[in-house]
Structure formats: C-alpha cells, structure tokens
Amino acid sequence: MSPFHERVAADKRAAILAAATALFGTQGFARTSLAQVAAAAHVSRSTLFKRFPTKDALFDAIVADVWTPQTRPAELDPADPGAGLRALGTVYAELLGRPGMAALFRLVISEAPTSPELGRRQFDLGKMPFFEEVRGYLEATSRAGTLEVEDPTMAATQMLGMISNFVLWPRMFLPDWDPEAGEVARAVEEAALTMSARYGRDERDPGCGRSRADLSPTDPGSSPG
C-alpha cells in the first residue's frame, strides 16, 4: 500500500472510531447500529464491515486506541525507582487525561446493567496491560533491592489509584475539571514520593532522594495527590 493510501485508510479508521465513540456515548452501545456508525463517519457500509465486522470488534478497537500511549518511557531501571515510577505515572496521567478516556468510562458504566461484558473487555484490553507493566516494574525493584514490595499487585493499585483519583475521577462528575500540566505533574511526583516512602528499603530512598523523615505533614511532598 502506498503512503497516500495508508493515510487515507488511517483517516477512515479514525473517522469510524470517532463516530462510534460519539454514537455509543449519546445513544448507547445496544441502540447503535453499524449502519449508523458508517453514516456518521461518512464511509460506506462495506468499508466499515471490512474493518469492523461487529460492534464488539469496533468497541475493542476504541479501547485499544484510547489506551495506546503516545510515547513510551525508555527502558526503566529498577535501580532508580523514583525515575521509573515517575515515568510510568506520567504515561498513565497522559492516558487518563485524554477526552476519550472519560467518555469510555462513562459508556461502560452506563451500559453495565445490560452489557456488563463491555466493562470487562475495557478492563482486560485497556487498563490491565498497563497495570501489569507497573506491577512488573515494582517486582523488578524488589529483585534489585531498591524497594521492598511484598504485594506488587496492591502496590500497583495504590500507585495508579493516587493518579487516577486526581486526573480521571473528578472529570467523571465535573465537566470543567481540567487540571493544568503542572498540577498533573505534581500529582505524579507525589505518587512516586509516597510509594518511595512506603516501600523504600533504606531510610533514604536512592530513587527519589527524599528521606522518610522529610515527608512530614507540613512538607509539600506529603500532601495527597
């Protein structure tokens, strides 16, 4: 396929996903037909069916698109957990801050009574791959001796929860919630510092360069993200 035809195909795919996301959000998943999606995307039905033969396939593509990071962090060094957790947290915050992410969560929540499988697929195809990356990195820091994480699943939940509680969940209820880049960066930094304080092996964690004693109630580093 020539570069021109590749661009045309990519544009059509993007139009289809955007139209489907909008229709699923306004009409609901069950009440939206593939024919309606094709019309809204200004593509032929045959073009749509060739790429996405079912609504389930279309939904899975939306999930994959929303959860694909624009950039990936460089190889994460378990010997420097502060830098590694900040890098992972920055990617996660970027994902959660996308307009399509809140729309996806609203969709699966609204469809839960009639289409509970959407939530499971969103979880399995979207969040879990990234969650496993964070969990795996925390396991690596334990093996390297820089953090002491007995339950990496719980630790990954804590790390990502601190970020999502600031970046994503307020947006679910407050349409005008739009924190500035510096505020998001601080939420990520605080999450990394909190993880270091909780799981650091030594009194001073080499990754974040902050002692546990430094994280006093009056220290900005101890405020919740």
Domain spans of the chain, in order of start: 3-54, 81-222
Q: Which fold has domain 3-54?
A: Arc Repressor Mutant, subunit A (1.10.10)
Rounded Cα–Cα distance for residues 58 and 99 (Å)? 18
- pLDDT tens digit at each of 225 positions of the chain: 788 878 989 999 999 999 999 999 999 999 999 999 999 999 999 999 999 999 999 999 999 999 999 887 778 999 999 999 999 999 999 999 998 899 999 999 999 998 999 999 999 999 999 999 999 999 999 999 999 999 999 999 999 999 999 999 999 999 899 999 999 999 999 999 999 999 998 644 444 444 444 433 334 343 334
The residue behind tokens 């699966």 is 108
Stated pTM of the model: 0.83
Architecture in CATH of 81-222? Orthogonal Bundle (1.10)
DSSP string for residues in 72-135? -PPPP-TT-HHHHHHHHHHHHHHHHTSHHHHHHHHHHHHHTTT-HHHHHHHIIIIIHHHHHHHH
